[in-house]
Amino acid sequence: MHLFYQDQLPEIKFLDQAESKHCIKVMRRQVGDEINIIDGKGTFYKAKITNANPKKCEFEVTETTKEAKPSFHRHLAIAPTKNMDRMEWLIEKATEMGIDEISFFQSFHSERKIIKIDRLEKKVISALKQSLKAKKPILNEIVPFNKVLDSTSAEIKLIAYVDFENKVHMRNELSEEQNTLILIGPEGDFTPEEVDMAAGKGFEKVSLGNSRLRTETAALAAVHLMNLAME
């Protein structure tokens, strides 16, 4: 099944220029054909094409279905890697598995201070269509580390950092019904001061297992664990 994207639904009932071109020129859909559309806000639409204009494909909605809501808000905050391909990859995979919000922060060992959210938004929408989901995760602009600590209302607040004296696996800290935020540090890890700062704000140190994982792999493991906790 192919999904089109129109985030102004239900108000606007046509596809934007790129989506119209894809629908009419590439997929050769005609007036009367049925198409499937998501609004990125959690609703699937079935629609019938009323005007097969390759620059502005108009449709009428025939059916709407709400996507099932996850049992808690899954929020990942990460220090972006220098290599943007690795972040794009993560965004794609996290969207496929299921994530509600992704934040980026600058910490002491961060190698990247700037993130182009626009480009990541495109990756997210394409992963959304691929995995037949209707709700787009929120992507937040990069902020300093301390701002991530302060601006959350999550009930479960975790920081991926191995405390060798008191090793707790992340999976043992998750609960089926509580909003969760997990912080993943940069390649050079968090500093002890950053970990203390997080602990002071109620964040618990958790391990992701015995392997030494790259930043983006650790983040995906954490996203997978949050999804397993809901299943």
| Cβ 221 to a copy of itself shortest distance, Å | 6
Of 43 and 50, CB closest to a copy of itself: 43
Q: DSSP string covering 106-130, please? A: E-TT-S-----HHHHHHHHHHHHHH
Give the span between the Cα atoms of 229 and 24, in whole angstroms: 42
Q: Please, which residues have CB within 8 angstroms of residue 18's CB and are 6 or more apart in sequence?
A: none
Window 48 to 107, contacts with a copy of itself (CB under 8 A): 89, 93, 96-98
Give the span between the Cα atoms of 50 and 173, in whole angstroms: 51
Give the span between the Cα atoms of 168 and 182, in whole angstroms: 14
- Exactly one of 8, 51, 126, 130 binds a copy of itself (CB under 8 A); which one? 130
| Cβ 127 to a copy of itself shortest distance, Å | 9
| Cβ 207 to a copy of itself shortest distance, Å | 9
- Exactly one of 16, 58, 112, 209 binds a copy of itself (CB under 8 A); which one? 209
Considering only 13-21, 47-55, 177-185, 210-218, which stretch makes contact with a copy of itself by CB under 8 A?
Answer: 210-218
Of 122 and 169, CB closest to a copy of itself: 169
Fill in the DSSP letter of residue 86.
H
Considering only 31-39, 55-63, 150-158, 214-222, which stretch makes contact with a copy of itself by CB under 8 A?
Answer: 214-222
Q: In 40-153, which ranges are E strands?
A: 43-51, 58-66, 74-78, 101-106, 138-139, 143-144
C-alpha dihedral over 46, 50, 56, 61, to 10 degrees? Answer: -30
Residues in contact with a copy of itself, shown as a per-residue x/- string from 155 to 184 under the rule CB under 8 A: --------------x-x-------------
Of 54 and 209, CB closest to a copy of itself: 209
- Residues 203, 75 contacting (CB under 8 angstroms): no
Contact residues toward a copy of itself (CB under 8 A) are 89, 93, 96-98, 130-133, 169, 171, 209-214, 217, 220-221, 224, 227-228, 231
